[in-house]
Amino acid sequence: SYGHRNPQGAALDKSGQLWITEHGARGGDEVNRIQKGGNFGWPVISYGTHYSGRSIGEGTSKPGMEQPETYWDPSIAPSGLTFYDGAELRGWSGDMFAGSLKFDYISRLDGSPLREVEQIQGDSTQRVRDVRQGPDGAIWFLSVGNGALYRMAGVGS
């Protein structure tokens, strides 16, 4: 695939499909489901604007260019990405998790269409750099704020 601005996180879902998070400019951070040979549009289409406020490219869509599965506006500065398939966190199996460097939270995404359904935020989520599922069934994440590795377990609905 091509037409990516700045991929930050990558993960495979349970079917082996590759997904990425990528930084937009001002607004327009994206989650993309990668398709072989797919043109993801950068810099021709974008949901963001230049930092100066000027428009980017030709708008938000164009024939032959892929649309993101979801996007953030304002930008969250997404980082690491994982899919959760454990039993430790009830009700979260199959959900996607992405760190936010800008707003200090972990984004939980779910649904069709894909959307952010929860912002997991606390003292430990300052500039979340990476999010992974551990072999113990918990979600582990790196936070720049305290320079620490955290374990999230026993929560969820």
Structural domains in the chain, sorted by start: 7-152 (2.120.10.30)
**What digits encode the pLDDT tens for the residues 36-65?**
999 999 999 999 999 999 999 999 999 999
Q: What pTM, to 2 d.p., does this model score?
A: 0.94
Contact 32, 15 (CB under 8 A): no
CA distances from 91 to 108, 131, 155 (A): 12, 18, 9
Q: For the segment 19-39, what is each residue's pLDDT rounded down to a tens digit?
A: 999 999 899 999 999 999 999
The encoded tokens of residue 73 equal: 């506006």
Q: Tens digits of per-residue pLDDT, 69-127?
A: 999 999 999 999 999 999 889 899 999 999 999 999 999 999 999 999 999 999 999 99
Residue 60's nearest CA partner among 76, 75, 43 is 43
- Euclidean distance between CA atoms 125 and 123, whole angstroms: 6
